[in-house]
Amino acid sequence: MPHCLNCESYVSETYVRVFAPDDYDSVRVCPHCEDKLRDGAGVREARAPRQQ
């Protein structure tokens, strides 16, 4: 079962296929992460809290 490497939340296999780098089985950050964001090919700390 794929999961986020940052917050351990479940992510779908489709989400991993779209947002993970090639050859990764999980994503480095997901929509549930409040402290990190995808930034191009990398991951960065969030500059402000996310609005929900």
What's the total number of domains in the chain?
1
Structural domain that includes position 49: 1-52
Sign of CA pseudo-dihedral 39, 45, 49, 52 = positive
- The strand pairing partners of 36, in sequence order, are 45
Going by C-beta distance under 8 Å and a sequence separation of 6 or more, which residues neighbour residue 49? Answer: 34
Q: What tokens does 32 get?
A: 């549930």
9 compared with 49, residue with greater pLDDT? 9
Judge whether 30 and 4 are in contact, CB under 8 Å. yes
pLDDT interval class at 51 (50, 70, 90): low
pTM to 2 decimal places: 0.68
Higher pLDDT, 37 or 50: 37
